[in-house]
Structure 1
Amino acid sequence: MSSSTRTTGPITGPATGRITGPILILDDLRDGRMHLAALFIAPKGAALPPVQLDRGEAQPATLAEYSTRTVLRARFSLPADCPSAYQWNGTRYELAGGFGGDLRIAYAACNGEEHGDLDRDGAERNAMWARMGAEHAEHPFSLLLHGGDQVYADEVTDGHPLSQDWPDRIPRDPARADLANLMHHLRERFLQRYLAVYTAPEFAWIAARVPSLMQWDDHDICDGWGSLRRSRTYSPVGQTLFSAAREAALLFQHGCCDGDLPARFADPEGSHLGWCIEAPGLRLLAPDLRSERSRRRVMARSGWRLMKAAAEKRFAGRSLILSSVPLLGPRLSLLEFLMVLIPRMQKYEDDLRDQWQSRAHRASWRRMLRMLRDMAAQEGHEVTAVSGEIHLAARGEMALGGGKVLHQLVASGISHRAPPKAWAKALGLLSWLGDAPLPGHPIRIRRIPGQAGRYAAERNYLVLERRGADWSASWELETSGRSSPLAL
């Protein structure tokens, strides 16, 4: 592909396996520069060359150790408003920049499947990543947003006596030594998951050339984390699982560890992993919908503090709200009610409780929507929500008043295979009922341009584009191809 030139082959370490990376992560935007982290996963003992810049170099430093691997990171900065490049191991990686003017952003979510993901054929699994890479080679992206479920960690609990039957059966009071052994097991299994994803050539190619910003969701921990019963999530086994997942998310999704979180995070201590980045005319706001989640809440005090501060701050331009779970959707509370009544359907209750529209979260949902309404009421400010999670492509609208509209753009299933078309049709029928959690602000599910139904059951990713002051969104669908641009 045209945006790099390789002059040497990939280096290897003394242990079996090649060095994985660089995976480029955007730490922050400030002072007209992109502050970046280049992540590497190397066999233990491997010597890594420095990242070379036009002026100077950055040497990878160790972040974490595993049985046979070391995780390293190099931090450096490049101009934010114009094209630039860095070089590593003989390859030059070109970046689009463009944060001061026209730019293109890719958004993807749900990069995996619940069962057997590591055994899938790579070309099939990563077909949409390959398509995104080919698009970047022709029309470069400035930023890659990951909306949750970067890995599917549902199987990491397998193979250990304390967690083998998670979450159905767990020991009440395991010995401290056994929990330490479980932590080691889980750390190695999380590494295995991220390593498999980041080594895939289709993903690795674009991840080295487009800075990523990531937000986690339940499968980055386990299926339904936060919607499971407290006897599970607050058990010693559950807390060990969360600790291992959180460490892995900091390392592999954010290129950091406790004590050195980038400045974009709202809480330097990492009690929640919400973050915010601002560029000229663009604010990216990603609340953490998992760290503080329980069956009765989506966020706790610190998470709401991030949203309140953003809602009260004056900002000119567009705010993109990354909500891993869609903010606007059909009345799923009706399905939730029916599932409670039907015994064989009760196993899906956690999936519906994950949603903002759950009966358990309706007050929180209204609170969030009021914040976004008030945020958008500022003169010269537009608000758009982007989400993943449902393995479908979709969009919704909520009238905000004053001629403004909250657009909800859902792109989900970059590698997760699409659910049956009958499920998409069922959601479409449910959406006919409409909903208005805020009186006077009805929610409507609209069709993606060119689609016959309200939900598209195809693997997909989203492209957000700014030209001048105008924004548009289009979906790249596996079978249908590119949708017509939707003006925002």
Structure 2
Amino acid sequence: MSLQLGPVLRHVGETTATVWVQTDAPAEVEVLGCRARTFEVQGCHYALVPVSGLTPDTATPYEVRVDGATCWPEPDSSFPPSVIRTRGPETADRLRVIFGSCRYPKTGEEKLDRKLGLDALDCYATRLTDLPVSEWPDALLLLGDQVYADELTPQARQHLSGRRSAGKRSANRRPPDEVVSFSEYVGLYRHTWGDPEIRWILSTLPTAMIFDDHDIRDDWNTSATWRAEINAQPWWRDRIRAGLASYWVYQHLGNLSPTELDSDDDYQKVLAADGDCWPLLAELADRADSEVDGDKGLRFSFRWDLGRSRLVMVDSRNARILDGGERKMLGDREFAWVEQQVSDLSGVDHLIIGSSLPWLLPPALGDVQIVNEIAAGRQGLRGRLGEKIRQGADLEHWPAFFASFVRLSTMIADAARPRPDGPATISVLSGDVHHSYAARADFGEPSGAQVHQLVCSPVHNYVPAYVKPAFKLGWSSPAARL
């Protein structure tokens, strides 16, 4: 009995934590005396162990036992012990967070790996091993493109091509260089998270995650036209089911606190299932993907309270509403939930809003996206040309959903207004654009909080040649005045 992946330390509170693992067979998994049975998805086995009885403001080393046998740490590990560091009164005023997006795995091919450059998370993990635990970050925020389902490594493409050619005729209609099935997603996660340094840092830093397009497919939910075109592909239903189901298993579940897990109907059904729970996850994925009355059937946005700081993570990909002539980054019900999380900030010194897509872009680029949304919404040739430009140039960030952009900006401006119990800072953390920057928001009126857009991307990927001059131009004063 062994671990195939993990442990991944996820939500951590003052006295509780959750630890995610994938095992090679059905088993009972134990962490610090707390146990959970695995659940099965298409022959794969997972557990999210709820750890309780922890002491606030402590760092507790832990092991993972599978059916009584110690499987973590590995016997020959050179890394420090994995620990669970709880929050409490002594650390309530302190928060150190690292974040980023777009981490492509190592390929093993020298030329391609040289093009990709250094893996920032891998390097940070190595650096962390030499620091005392007290200097470690309090949380790791992964803001999208944790896996690349549509841009595979050469080895993965070769393996997938063999599966396609050896499969049934129906499988040959699937793209030869993109994953489609749940089992293929399993391979992606194992390759991406299986690197020793990555595996260790995920085991010891509380990690929050949200997806972006490459976790499913490039330009995912860019527009109603994009969605209609992809829905016409015979393999897409299998792909979106596998992508959303695997996201729920590998990423979303750990974003929830033990209390939220106890009240989550989908999770409780999975735990109660006898044998393979894939039918439950296929239904869940269909519900998450479908628009009903202007909203999606599942909310992936979530909230973490981190002492006197609050993280509100916003799903700016799957939550999009595109049918029936509407165009919203989030449905009204989910947006109202986000607004509710920032409506009462008493006792919150620092508000963090996570979104895989930047809220604030370089002024010129933001303006281009606003204009393009208008153009793409027109009838006839101009509309088709606008849509082609939108998809080709990835004009799909918050300004490209202008009504939602205004609503988010209004929410942030209201949260930042001067008041005795208001936050000192509001930070919007994002990735996606393969360009890192810090931008201060100016609302044109007095503000009680400093508001910044902070972007870190990519963690490990190459920067296309056009990105640097485009962003340099976008930040320039002449371009902003156009």
TM-score of the alignment, normalized to the shorter chain, above 0.5: yes
For residues 354 and 224 of structure 1, what CA distance do their matches in structure 2 show?
Answer: 8
User: What is the root-mean-square deviation in Å for CA atoms of aligned residues?
Assistant: 3.7
Deviation at 1:306, TM superposition (A): 1.5
For residues 201 and 213 of structure 2, what CA distance do their matches in structure 1 show?
Answer: 25
Q: What amino acid does structure 2 have at the position aligned with 1:232?
A: E
Cα distance 1:409–1:334, how it changes in 2: closer, same or farther (>3 A)?
closer
Aligned pairs, number:
389
Partner in structure 2 of residue 164 of structure 1: 175
Partner in structure 2 of residue 20 of structure 1: 5
Deviation at 1:234, TM superposition (A): 4.5
Greater strand percent: which structure? 1
Cα distance 1:326–1:202, how it changes in 2: closer, same or farther (>3 A)?
same
1:375 matched to 2:415: yes
Deviation at 1:397, TM superposition (A): 1.3
For residues 267 and 398 of structure 1, what CA distance do their matches in structure 2 show?
Answer: 37
For residues 434 and 311 of structure 1, what CA distance do their matches in structure 2 show?
Answer: 36
Partner in structure 1 of residue 245 of structure 2: 247
Question: Matches of residues 96-107 of structure 1 in structure 2 within 5 Å?
Answer: 96-98=85-87, 99-107=91-99
Cα distance 1:416–1:262, how it changes in 2: closer, same or farther (>3 A)?
farther
SS at match of 2:148: coil
In structure 1, stretches of 5+ residues that fail to align are: 1-11, 168-181, 437-441, 443-488
Partner in structure 2 of residue 321 of structure 1: 353
Partner in structure 2 of residue 332 of structure 1: 365
Partner in structure 1 of residue 300 of structure 2: 273
For residues 241 and 346 of structure 1, what CA distance do their matches in structure 2 show?
Answer: 24
SS at match of 1:195: helix
Question: Matches of residues 127-138 of structure 1 in structure 2 within 5 Å?
Answer: 127-137=119-129, 138=131
The answer on whether the counterparts of 1:233 and 1:239 sit within 8 Å (CA) in structure 2 is no
The answer on whether the counterparts of 1:224 and 1:351 sit within 8 Å (CA) in structure 2 is no
Q: Which moved more, 1:134-143 or 1:158-167?
A: 158-167
Partner in structure 2 of residue 303 of structure 1: 334
Out of 454, 457, 462, the position equivalent to 1:409 is 454
1:73 matched to 2:65: no
In structure 2, stretches of 5+ residues that fail to align are: 65-69, 74-80, 153-159, 165-170, 267-296, 377-381
State the Cα deviation string for residues 138-180 of structure 1 (Å, max 9, x = none): 131221111111111115897433432899xxxxxxxxxxxxx
Q: What amino acid does structure 2 have at the position aligned with 1:396?
A: A
Question: Matches of residues 82-481 of structure 1 in structure 2 within 5 Å?
Answer: 82-88=58-64, 89=70, 91=73, 92-98=81-87, 99-112=91-104, 120=109, 127-137=119-129, 138=131, 139-154=135-150, 159=164, 160-164=171-175, 186-228=181-223, 229-235=226-232, 237-255=235-253, 263=260, 271-294=298-321, 296-315=327-346, 316-330=348-362, 331-332=364-365, 335=368, 346=388, 349=391, 351-358=393-400, 361-377=401-417, 378-379=419-420, 380-381=422-423, 382-400=425-443, 401-403=445-447, 404-420=449-465, 423-433=467-477
State the Cα deviation string for residues 389-436 of structure 1 (Å, max 9, x = none): 01121111112432443201101111112333x522321222225899
For residues 214 and 367 of structure 1, what CA distance do their matches in structure 2 show?
Answer: 24
Greater helix percent: which structure? 2
Q: Which moved more, 1:82-91 or 1:146-155?
A: 82-91
For residues 121 and 352 of structure 2, what CA distance do their matches in structure 1 show?
Answer: 23
SS at match of 1:149: coil
Deviation at 1:256, TM superposition (A): 6.0
The answer on whether the counterparts of 2:4 and 2:23 sit within 8 Å (CA) in structure 1 is yes
Deviation at 1:75, TM superposition (A): 1.8
Cα distance 1:140–1:48, how it changes in 2: closer, same or farther (>3 A)?
same
For residues 237 and 202 of structure 1, what CA distance do their matches in structure 2 show?
Answer: 35
The answer on whether the counterparts of 1:100 and 1:279 sit within 8 Å (CA) in structure 2 is yes
Cα distance 1:262–1:300, how it changes in 2: closer, same or farther (>3 A)?
farther
Deviation at 1:309, TM superposition (A): 0.8
The answer on whether the counterparts of 2:95 and 2:309 sit within 8 Å (CA) in structure 1 is no
The answer on whether the counterparts of 1:272 and 1:302 sit within 8 Å (CA) in structure 2 is no
For residues 104 and 203 of structure 1, what CA distance do their matches in structure 2 show?
Answer: 19
For residues 264 and 63 of structure 2, what CA distance do their matches in structure 1 show?
Answer: 32
The answer on whether the counterparts of 1:328 and 1:397 sit within 8 Å (CA) in structure 2 is no
The answer on whether the counterparts of 1:392 and 1:410 sit within 8 Å (CA) in structure 2 is yes
Partner in structure 2 of residue 174 of structure 1: none
Deviation at 1:274, TM superposition (A): 0.4
State the Cα deviation string for residues 320-365 of structure 1 (Å, max 9, x = none): 000110111123255556898898994662553321122xx11211
Q: What amino acid does structure 2 have at the position aligned with 1:250?
A: W
For residues 200 and 234 of structure 1, what CA distance do their matches in structure 2 show?
Answer: 34
Cα distance 1:241–1:261, how it changes in 2: closer, same or farther (>3 A)?
farther
Deviation at 1:223, TM superposition (A): 0.8
Question: Structure 1 length as normaliser, TM-score?
Answer: 0.69
Cα distance 1:244–1:118, how it changes in 2: closer, same or farther (>3 A)?
farther
